[in-house]
Amino acid sequence: MTTIEVNNRQIEANKGELLLTAIRRAGIKVPTLCHFEGLPPSGACRLCVVEMDGRLVPSCATAVSEGMKCQTHSQKAVRARKTIIELLLADHPDDCLYCVRNGNCELQTLAEEYGVRTRRYQGEKSTCHLDVSSPALERDPAKCILCGKCVRVCEEIQNVSAIDFTGRGCKARIETAFNEGINKSSCVFCGQCIKVCPTGALREKSSTKEVLEAIADPDKIVVVQHAPAISVSVGEAFGLKAGTECTGPLNAALRRIGFDKVFDTSFTADLTIMEEGSEFVARFKGKGKLPMITSCSPGWVKFAEEFYPDMLENLSSCKSPQQMMGAVIKSYYAEKAGIDPKKIFSVSIMPCIAKKFEVTREEMLTDGIPDIDAVITTRELVRLLKMRGLDLNTIEPEPADNPLSLKTGAGKIFGASGGVMEAALRSAYHLITGKELSDLDIKSVRGLEGRKEAKISIDGTEIGVAVVSGLKNASDLLDEIRAGRNDLHFIEIMACPGGCINGGGQPIGVTAEAVAARMKSLYSIDKNDKYRASHLNPDIQKLYKEYLGEPLGHRSHKLLHTHYTKRDVVK
C-alpha cells in the first residue's frame, strides 16, 4: 500500500493501481464515459482529468505513486469537463424527449451535473444514417460519442469484433466492416454493446407495438412466457432490492396488460434438460460427438456458426427453452385447449436480444408456423408495465397458468452461468444410474467466474465438465479443444458474462453486486423448491406420457430439436 493526497486528504492506494480506482474507492466521484472496469485504460473521453502540479492528467490512465497529490474538482478540472460535455453536445441530436435512454443517459446526466444550460458551440452537424438492418438491435451513429466501449466489449470481452473505429480526427466513426448493415457483420446479437453504451447510439429493436396490437386484436389468443432470469431482475426498475423474486406480481401484471395466458419458461428449461440430458447420455455411450456443448444461448450458437463451424456437431441439437415453449404451446397446449395454432400469438420476455434473432431463424418453424411470434426484453417489459401504470410493489401475486408453468429449482437456475450444467448433471446422474444424486448442490460449477471446470463422478465414471460465459472465454476453451484437449465431455457456454442474469436485454447501469444478487436469488429459489431435478417435474412427466412419448423420440425430435448452418463472416 501507498499513501496519496486527494483533495487535501490522505487516502490509501495499492502500488501501481490506477488513480481513478483509488479515488473512487475513497468515495470520491469522478466522471468518465470511456472507462471499462477490468480492461486496460483507453483514455478516450478525458472526463476523468484531475489537476496535478498545475496540469490536467487522466486519472483512468495514471498510476498512483508515493506522495502523489491531486485535486479532483479544482476549477481547472471542472471547467475542462464541462467543455468536453459541451463539445459532445454540439454534435449530438436534440431528441432527448424521444430517446430510449431519456432519464438513463450518462451524457444527459453529466450535462445536468455540470450545469450545461446553453449551446456554446455551434457547427455543422454530422450526417448519419440509422442502421435498422438487424432483427435484434438498432444502431444510431448520430448519438455515438466515440467512447469506444462498444468496440472494446465486442472485441476484448466477446471476441466478435463486429464494429471498430474508422476514419481519423473529426471524421472518426464506429462502423461495421465496409460500413455494411449490422446484419451483414459478424455480430452475434449478444447485446453487451447496448449495455455499455452511455447514450442511445445502440438499442434493442422494440417489439412493444407489435405485442400491443396483438393484444388489441379480438381474433388472437395472446400468450406470454417469461424466462427464469426475468423475475429476479425486473423488480430493480421499481425500486426493489436487486435479486428480489417477483414471479407472482409479474404474472398478475402481465394479465392486467391483457395477455390471455401466462407461462413460465422454467418449465421448458426442465424440458430442455430431459432432452439435452438424454442426448448427453447417448453421446457418452458412443452415439454422438463429444464434448457435447449446450445450445440454449442463441448468441453463442451464432458465434459457433460463424467462428467454429468445424465444431457444430458438438452442439446439442436441442432448441432453447424459449423455442421449446413456443413449439409446445402451438402443439400440445393448442390441442388440449382446442385452439387453432394459427390464432395463437406467442410472446416471450427474455433477458437477451439474441432471442429476437433466434425467432427469425428458418429452423424455428414447425409446419410453417413460427414457434414464437415476438420477443421483448426486460427493458421493454419495464416500459410496458410503466406505460400501463403498473407497479410490482403494489400488485398481489398470482400463479402462472398450467399445464406449462410447474417448474423445478433446476429449471430456475438456468438463468445463471453454470445453472444449465448443474441441472443437466442432476438428471444425467439419474438417467445413467437410475438413482437420485445425494447432494444436488454442485457448487464447483457455480459463480460469476468466466470459466469453471470440474470432474464429476457418476457411478464410478469420471466426467469432465466446463462452464464458460463470455465469448472470449468460450474461444479460449474451444481453441484448446481444437488443439487436441480431450478430457472434457460436457460444456456449457453462455454468450453473456455471468449468463442470462447479465443478458444484453437486462436493465442498463446495474452494478456487479446487483448481478451477483440475482444469481444468489436463483440458487435460493432452487434450494427451497419442492422439486429440484427436472426429471421429477410431474407436469414434464405428464407431457411425455400424454404427447411427446419419450426423450429423443420422433415427436420430441420434430418439435424440440433443430440444426445449425455454417455462416459466412464479414470481419
Contact 163, 151 (CB under 8 A): yes
Task: Output phi, psi for 6, to 5 deg.
Answer: -125, 120
Catalytic residue among 51, 204, 276, 380: 276
Catalytic residue among 355, 356, 407, 412: 355
Enclosing H/E stretch for 82: helix 75-90
Return the closest-CA partner of residue 230 out of 198, 269, 197, 274. 269
Amino acid letter, residue 191: G
Other C-beta atoms closer than 10 Å to the C-beta of 458 total 17
- Placement of cell 447479465 in the chain: 502
Catalytic residue among 296, 318, 352, 496: 296
Cα separation values, 475 from 173, 195, 499, 564, Å: 28, 22, 16, 18
Active site (annotated) includes residue 355: yes
Active site (annotated) includes residue 316: yes
Catalytic residue among 86, 363, 449, 453: 363
Active site (annotated) includes residue 276: yes
DSSP secondary structure letter of residue 338:
T
Count the helices and strands in the chain (H runs, E runs).
Answer: 19, 19
What's the rounded Cα separation, in Å, for the pair 73 and 517? 33
- Placement of cell 409446445 in the chain: 328
Catalytic residue among 358, 380, 422, 492: 358
The cell for 306 is: 460463424
Active site (annotated) includes residue 278: no
Active site (annotated) includes residue 500: yes
Catalytic residue among 319, 352, 500, 521: 500
Active site (annotated) includes residue 45: no
Contact 281, 428 (CB under 8 A): yes
Question: Which residues face 18 on adjacent strands?
Answer: 63
Active site (annotated) includes residue 187: no
Catalytic residue among 297, 316, 346, 534: 316
Catalytic residue among 51, 106, 279, 492: 279
Active site residues: 276, 279, 296, 316, 355, 358, 363, 500
